[in-house]
Amino acid sequence: MLTDMQIAVLGGDARQLEIVKRLAELDAKLYLIGFEQLAQVISGAVKEKLKDVDFSKIDAVILPVKGTNLDGEVETIFSNENIILTEQTLQETPSHCKIYSGISNPYLDKLVKKADRELIQLFKRDDVAIYNSIPTVEGTVMMAIQNTDITIHQSSVAVLGLGRVGMSVARTFSLLGANVKVGARSLAHLARITEMGLKPFHLENLKDEVKDLDICINTIPHLVLTAGIIAGMPTNTLIIDLASKPGGTDFRYAEKRGVKALLAPSLPGIVAPKTAGQILANILSQLLSEDFENRKENS
């Protein structure tokens, strides 16, 4: 239980509501900042303006998945309030206060360093990334269906990268009956692709491997689908780029050549916000409980 723990939740989307509901069930006291248009009443949670919260009593700050933008602005869909996370706000918090977000950026990194607070990036965790790959794959299947006039079954699909997302994508498209090949650079990944019953290829040979593709799904956060590679693809190939912005595709050249290339960020929040929120709520309730128990033991 999180009885007596005070948590500030700054902005966010429907995913944040799942987190708030779970932490309220655990008896935490929650301050919702940037939620004044939220109609739902959640017992144990109060809506506040940023300036009205006493941050000296806050044990944890929960930011949206994206953290802040590069100017410190926190995105919220339930408010018109301009919420900026500043060094001053963090410095008002007690030294044990941790900051939780999905990812970070140079602004947030610098802010927590200057304020001497710990930032926990949930998406850096293997468990979160693997759970999150499930709605990501479902969104990818949806995009493939919406943007092609063929079935996934019997289609020729290349997946680039065998990380946490790439593995789930490759397995799912194969189970749907596609002929899946996977491009990677490490020998261990090439071995794993073979073990999965899929066709491995080294990324050095990407140019030869794209000649017959219906769908190319990139998960590598690095420019891999260059103009030279795209030039070798059939013009009816669909590129779905899942890698974080700016993706791994030369979108300008793809458009020029007439190859449809879609950058598809944040699919979990789009196709399954409730599940995506529950994934974060599960891990956050665990991390906050551990932190709370440790502090009680040490006090």
Min separation Cβ 75 and ligand NAP, Å:
16
Nearer to ligand NAP, 38 or 261 (CB): 261
Min separation Cβ 125 and ligand NAP, Å:
10
172 binds ligand NAP (CB under 6 A): no
Among 159, 182, 243, 280, which residue sits at the site for ligand NAP (rule: CB under 6 A)?
243
Q: Are strands 83-84 and 73-74 parallel, antiparallel or unpaired?
A: antiparallel
The site map against ligand NAP for 264-283 (x = CB under 6 A) is xxxxx---------------
Min separation Cβ 221 and ligand NAP, Å:
4
Nearer to ligand NAP, 242 or 283 (CB): 242
Which residues have CB under 8 Å from 82's CB, separation 6+?
Answer: 73
DSSP letter for each residue of 127-158: HHHHHHHHHHHHHHHHHHHHT-SS-STT-EEE
Tell me which residues in 196-215 interact with ligand NAP (CB under 6 A): 203
287 sits in which H/E element = helix 273-298
Min separation Cβ 202 and ligand NAP, Å:
10
DSSP bridge pairs for 140:
none
Kindly indicate which of the ranges 34-42, 46-54, 84-92, 184-192 contains the residues binding ligand NAP, using the contact rule CB under 6 A.
184-192
Site residue total, ligand NAP (CB under 6 A): 25
Report the C-alpha gap between 57 and 244 in whole angstroms.
Answer: 35
Taking CA atoms, 34 is separated from 38, 44, 92, 137, 184, in Å, by 9, 16, 19, 30, 42
Closest by CA to 103, choosing from 124, 118, 75, 87, is 124
Among 221, 231, 257, 260, which residue sits at the site for ligand NAP (rule: CB under 6 A)?
221
186 binds ligand NAP (CB under 6 A): yes
Asked if residues 128 and 275 have their Cβ atoms less than 8 Å apart, the reply is no
Residue 235: how many other CB atoms lie within 10 Å: 10
Report the C-alpha gap between 294 and 28 in whole angstroms.
Answer: 16
Kindly indicate which of the ranges 13-21, 109-117, 164-172, 273-281 contains the residues binding ligand NAP, using the contact rule CB under 6 A.
164-172
Min separation Cβ 204 and ligand NAP, Å:
10
Asked if residues 42 and 106 have their Cβ atoms less than 8 Å apart, the reply is no
237 binds ligand NAP (CB under 6 A): no
Among 11, 102, 161, 277, which residue sits at the site for ligand NAP (rule: CB under 6 A)?
161
Among 21, 47, 164, 171, which residue sits at the site for ligand NAP (rule: CB under 6 A)?
164
165 binds ligand NAP (CB under 6 A): yes
Residue with tokens 């599960």: 282
The residue sitting closest to ligand NAP, measured at its beta carbon, is: 163
Asked if residues 270 and 242 have their Cβ atoms less than 8 Å apart, the reply is no
102 binds ligand NAP (CB under 6 A): no
The site map against ligand NAP for 128-147 (x = CB under 6 A) is -x--x---x-----------
Q: Are strands 98-101 and 60-62 parallel, antiparallel or unpaired?
A: parallel
Q: Which residue ranges make up the site for ligand NAP (CB under 6 A)?
A: 129, 132, 136, 161-166, 184-186, 203, 219-222, 242-244, 264-268
